[in-house]
Amino acid sequence: MNYPVSVFTEETTPSAPPFAATLQWQEDHLILKIPGKEARKLFLNDVSLSLGGIEKNQVILTTSDATPWRIYLSNDAEKGLRHHSHPTGPSLVAQIDALRGVRFKSRWAYKFRFFLKLLSIILVALLTYRVFLFLLGLFMPLSWEKHLGDGSTRDIEKMALKDPIVAQTIQTLGEKVAGPEALRRYEFKFRVIPKAEVNALAYPGGWIYVHTGLIQFAQSPDELTGVLAHEVQHILERHSLRRMVDDFGFSFFITGIMGDHALSAVIAKANTLQFSRGQEKEADVRGMKLLMKAGLPGDGMITFFERMQKSDSPRWMEYLAYLSTHPSDKNRATYLRKTLADARPGAQTPKIAWEEFKKRCAEANPAVSQ
Ligand SMILES: [Zn+2]
């Protein structure tokens, strides 16, 4: 039986298409008939097999001539080869199957490689995004950070106590803690807000909010300055900024810069965000150094944090929100004491109307009163 095939010979060029020929299977050879040409006898051992064609699925026999002929088998021609019994038949069939199998596998390999490529593109994009956010947190221009801080404190700022004694005292204490160097970089704004939880919040750009609950918990101006020093360092080290940029990403950054009013909804969540333990330790140690530089006693910071961590007073337990936003190390007091050990003598508690200040804060405190 003659099966249709297409043959590419040395005469085939772009302008001379392949020959439409027929192939006949014999015992141990093939007879290729190109119309108008002498029939050619091909021994199966002299042709090699491959796959090709538009779908790369067509069996091709290639001769071993100097300019090889390529014979593209039609489906029928391939079936004929498969059904024809001849000595080399089975091995040819096995070869075709092997080729198809390899192709089948390689298709999966191709898909897998594509999947891997896609995955790596996604990973690289994610990584680039994280690196971008990280760098943004580190190198954001100060003016942007201030703008972001102004935008993110719009709502909380409305809660700040207006009582002049309270407002002035906290600002005076805060500025004393921060010192001239930090004040040149940031226009720090220290505020007291009437909230019962023992907590303090630092926002990018120099905004620090202390709850009345924390002021009630503090037993001396030194304890309060200790907390303020810690919060000031969260701003100087850009922990607050990095935390926000990290958690809210690019959209936050854009709305922050653009001053979108929808931002406050996002900010409400910011109060519950945690600093990392590393950032906490950094704020502690650097905060302690800040106190020493300002000539303020550092013991207050230690006693405040120690008391807060050890506090088993049921009155305070539910109000100790500070620990949830500022996760502390159990060795906190130890490393703080070590830092304080090099303190210069002559540190002095700032002269402020502490009792009056505390009393006025207590009056504003919504849940805990003396
Ligand atoms: Zn902290």
Q: Please, are residues 83 and 3 in contact by the beta-carbon 8 Å criterion?
A: no
Is 303 among the domain residues? yes
Return the closest-CA partner of residue 226 out of 170, 293, 303.
303
Cα 82 to ligand 1 centre (Å):
78
The pocket of ion ligand 1, defined by CB under 5 A, consists of 275, 280, 283, 326
Q: What are phi and psi of 208, to 5 degrees?
A: -130, 125
The Å distance, Cα 198 to ligand 1 centre, comes to: 13
Query: Do 22 and 81 fall into the same domain?
Result: yes
Residue 184 pLDDT grade (very low, low, confident, very high; cuts 50, 70, 90):
very high
List Cβ neighbours of 261 (8 Å cut-off, separation of 6 or more): none
Identify whether 114 is part of a domain.
Answer: no
Q: What is the CATH number of the domain that holds 63?
A: 2.30.29.30
pLDDT at residue 327 tops 80: no
Whether residue 95 sits in one domain with residue 178: no
pLDDT band at 94 (very low <50, low <70, confident <90, very high): confident
Q: Any residues with CB less than 8 A from the CB of 290 and at least 6 apart, and which?
A: 177, 178, 179, 182, 229, 232, 233
Q: How far is the CA of 356 from the centre of ligand 1 (A)?
A: 27
> Measured in angstroms, how far is the CA atom of residue 326 from the centroid of ligand 1?
4
Whole-number Å distance, alpha carbon 98 to ligand 1 midpoint, is 66
Of the candidates 71, 99, 127, which is a domain's last residue?
Answer: 99
Same domain, 364 and 267: yes
Rounded distance from Cα 273 to ligand 1 centre (Å) = 11
Q: Residue 369: its pLDDT value, please?
A: 41
Separation of CA 167 and ligand 1 centre (Å): 22
3-state helix/strand/coil string of 267-331: HHHHCCCCCCHHHHHHHHHHHHHHHHHCCCCCHHHHHHHHHHHHCCCHHHHCCCCHHHHCCCCCC
| CA 230 to centroid of ligand 1, rounded, Å | 6
Confidence of residue 77 (pLDDT cuts 50, 70, 90): confident
- Going edge to edge, which strands form the sheet with 189-193? 189-193, 207-211, 200-203
Residue 171: give the domain boundaries: 140-368
C-alpha of residue 243 to centroid of ligand 1, in Å? 12
Does any domain span residue 111? no
**Domain-ending residue, one of 99, 122, 156:** 99
Of the three residues 79, 99, 119, the one that is the final residue of a domain is: 99
> 294 in a domain, yes or no?
yes
Residue 267, domain member (yes or no)? yes
Interatomic CA distance for residues 272 and 130, integer angstroms: 22
Query: Residue 176 — pLDDT band, cuts 50, 70, 90?
Result: very high
Number of domains into which the chain is organized: 2
% of residues, the chain, pLDDT over 90: 38
Average pLDDT for the chain = 83
Q: Looking at beta carbons, which pairs linking 76-80 to residues 24 or more positions away fall under 8 Å? A: 76/3, 76/4, 77/3, 77/4, 77/5, 77/23, 80/1, 80/3, 80/23, 80/25
Q: Do residue 25 and residue 149 come from a single domain?
A: no
Q: Does the pLDDT at position 32 exceed 80?
A: yes
